[in-house]
Amino acid sequence: MGFVLSIGTGYVCGEYFGFPWWLRLITVVVIVMALEGANQAVGRARARKRAL
């Protein structure tokens, strides 16, 4: 899912917002990092809930 989201984000930022390639790259990295952080937070919450 991360790969598809990266391609989509890069395309949208380039086509609709006119971002240069380096700004698209930064945007993709930030979004992927945010999704990974959310994924880890949910995983930790589930693990904590199972431990109780």
Digit-coded pLDDT (tens) for 12-34: 999 999 999 999 999 999 999 99
Question: pTM, whole model, 2 decimals?
Answer: 0.77
Can you tell me the distance from the alpha carbon of 19 to that of 16, in angstroms, rounded to the nearest whole number? 8
Give me the pLDDT at residue 5, please: 86
What 22-27 contacts at long range (C-beta under 8 Å, 24+ apart), as own/partner pairs, is: none
Mean pLDDT (the chain, rounded): 91
Give me the pLDDT at residue 13, please: 92
Give me the pLDDT at residue 48, please: 87
**Helices 21-51 and 2-15: angle between axes, nearest 10 degrees:** 150
